[in-house]
Chains A and B, each alone.
Chain A
Amino acid sequence: MIKINIQPEDFDVTSEIKSLRGRAIGAIATFSGIVRENSDSKSLISLTLEHYPGMSEKALDKIARQAMHEWPIEAVRIIHRIGRLTPEDNIVFVGCASAHRHAAFDGCRFIMDFLKTDAPFWKAEETKQGTVWVSQRETDTSAKQGWLSGKK
């Protein structure tokens, strides 16, 4: 089961974890992405998240399917927020449910690494100095390359 939502609204991590439970599920691994105040020593006022409607849902669905193909994962939950967010707000949630922990951990990390490079979302950072679009990090593309070259 794959469930994906792209939404401006906040989400509740506890109820999302509850939604992944089931009789065959022995492990649930989750990732929560949160807006942090400091980026490159500048104090962040807000982040604005934009996406490509239609393509972003398809891209996340494809990544979730790849994870379920790679590991025995029973359920994937992805929530990505859009719009204006402020420090300590939730941005993203990924949950993977499996019979055992390794598939849950690996699937969750795989989905986040590919989300960073293969899902059409963009962040603009607002600080006192103004608003700038965030550049892609080298570490994000290398994290994906690690999976592709078999370095898990």
Chain B
Amino acid sequence: MRIYYFAWVRDHIGYSQEDIHCPETVKTISQLAAFLSQQSAGHAKAFDDLNAVRAAINQEFVNSDKSVKDTDEIAFFPPVTGG
């Protein structure tokens, strides 16, 4: 699946997108975040406080219990601050 990162989530990870092949045990956004946090020190820092991170699946905001598929476009980012 393709994953995008924005704002300080991206700053911690060091790049703005990556293609990941997840193990079968990863079924939800929160499981995906837990899996990603093990990828590097930067990932671990980005996903350190899951309450501070928001997610989208296929460009729609979702809660952390939402299920993910390999074909989904996923994004992780901080709460929005536009306008």
Contact = CB atoms under 8 A, between A and B. Distances in A.
A36 interface: no
Contact of A136 (B60, B61, B79): B79
Which range holds the interface residue count of chain A?
Answer: 20 to 34
Interface in A116-139: 116-124, 133-136
Interface string B39-70: 00000000000000000100111000000000
Which range holds the interface residue count of chain B?
Answer: 10 to 19
Given A52-B4, A122-B7, A124-B7, A133 B78 contact: yes
Of B11, B59, B60, the most chain A CB neighbours within 10 A belong to: B59
Contact of A112 (B8, B77, B83): B83
Interface of A: 33, 49-52, 54-55, 58, 80, 91-92, 112, 115-124, 133-136
